[in-house]
């Protein structure tokens, strides 16, 4: 498979997943702003902080108002990580590999982009914010379902799968980090009624609330962290994403388990192993923000290693299989 085609599929899925997860974060903040007492910290500062684009937000003159933050994260074309920007780049990547992906995948991605672009051009014609972000999330879920039902489990599938899983792991960590920033004003709020509302909104944002409640009776922060970071069976937990990412990476390289053949496998294997043997008590003892920040840095390292191995002009796999350009 051409490395440029593999890179396009990888980034098509990363940007598509990023748009969906940004919609989840904004929708979560909407729910928090509705439930928050008047004296509480606005959730819009933390959601911008957790996105990693705070400096750009300030450069563009953004305030901590609901309207400014929502526009920056949703429609701002100067923000490369806004929903509109991500869907535009996902669509561009999809267009370059239309002969590889299913026609229905292209149609769904194009529909999602046009929906958000039209909403940006005519906000008055848009539905309520909750309905809008729900529809953006639904487009992402439909696209993933079509890809799962139509694509051969070959190289294209695995490159797309790696992009989606790496992005999802990163965004789950950032959603959890958003909760950390909300707690910054006072750690005395831990365990208070509003603390429980925040954790519930966060679980709901990633579609985990129902399954969390089937496993745990109460909303306790340690149990939520355990569920979203260390649960190998929940599709949006960080550990689950790493396990799926590792499966696709090994499918591409043919490397047996326990015998890493390149930097990406070594970096990913160490991170997956660290989380696999970690207990939630270890996470909380270290500090949730510090732990999540370390995960995000290590995911960036995995991404850089994948780019070097698969997408650079001289890319060569450890087993000697070269990739054409």
Helix pair angle (263-276, 238-253), 10° resolution:
150
Report the chain's mean pLDDT, rounded to a whole number: 88
- The predicted pLDDT at position 22 comes to 95
CA distance 264 to 310: 10
- The predicted pLDDT at position 29 comes to 87
Q: Which residue has the tokens 């958000």?
A: 116
For residue range 137-168, what is the model confidence (pLDDT) as tens digits? Answer: 999 999 999 999 999 999 999 999 999 999 99
CA distance 323 to 146: 27
Q: What is the pTM of this model?
A: 0.89
The answer to whether the beta carbons of residues 257 and 232 sit under 8 Å apart is no
Residues in the chain: 325
CA distance 177 to 312: 32
Q: Of 35-49, 54-68, 143-157, 198-212, which range is least confident?
A: 35-49
CA distance 162 to 168: 10
Burial of 149 (0-12, 13-18, 19+ CB in 10 A): exposed
- The predicted pLDDT at position 313 comes to 59
Q: Of 44-58, 73-87, 102-116, 254-268, which range is least confident?
A: 44-58
More confident position, 118 or 313:
118
CA distance 57 to 41: 19
Q: Is pLDDT at 68 greater than 60 in this prediction?
A: yes
Q: Is pLDDT at 30 greater than 60 in this prediction?
A: yes
The answer to whether the beta carbons of residues 163 and 303 sit under 8 Å apart is no
Alpha carbon distance, N-terminus to C-terminus of the chain = 9
Q: Which residue has the tokens 């299913």?
A: 102
């Amino acid at each position: 498979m051409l490395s440029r085609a593999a890179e396009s599929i990888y980034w098509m899925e990363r940007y598509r997943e990023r748009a969906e997860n940004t919609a989840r974060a904004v929708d979560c903040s909407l729910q928090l702003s509705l439930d928050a007492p008047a004296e509480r910290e606005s959730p819009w500062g933390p959601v911008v902080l957790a996105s990693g684009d705070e400096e750009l937000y300030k450069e563009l003159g953004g305030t901590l108002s609901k309207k400014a933050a929502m526009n920056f994260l949703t429609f701002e074309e100067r923000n490369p990580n806004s929903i509109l920007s991500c869907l535009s780049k996902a669509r561009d990547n999809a267009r370059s590999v239309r002969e590889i992906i299913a026609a229905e995948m292209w149609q769904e991605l194009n529909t999602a982009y046009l929906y958000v672009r039209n909403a940006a051009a005519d906000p008055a014609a848009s539905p309520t914010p909750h309905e809008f972000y729900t529809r953006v999330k639904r487009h992402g879920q439909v696209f993933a379902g079509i890809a799962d039902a139509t694509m051969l489990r070959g190289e294209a599938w695995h490159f797309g799968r790696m992009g989606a899983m790496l992005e999802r792991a990163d965004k789950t960590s950032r959603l959890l980090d958003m909760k950390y920033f909300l707690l910054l004003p006072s750690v005395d709020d831990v365990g208070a009624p509003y603390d429980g509302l925040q954790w519930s909104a966060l679980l709901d944002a990633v579609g985990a609330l129902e399954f969390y409640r089937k496993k745990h009776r109460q909303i306790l922060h340690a149990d939520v962290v355990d569920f979203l970071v260390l649960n190998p069976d929940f599709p949006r937990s960080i550990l689950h994403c790493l396990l799926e990412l590792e499966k696709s990476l090994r499918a591409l390289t043919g490397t047996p388990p326990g015998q890493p053949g390149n930097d990406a496998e070594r970096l990913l294997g160490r991170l997956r192993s660290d989380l696999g043997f970690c207990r939630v008590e270890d996470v909380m003892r270290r500090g949730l923000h510090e732990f999540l920040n370390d995960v995000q840095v290590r995911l960036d390292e995995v991404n850089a290693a994948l780019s070097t191995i698969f997408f650079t002009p001289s890319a060569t796999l450890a087993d000697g299989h070269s990739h054409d350009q």
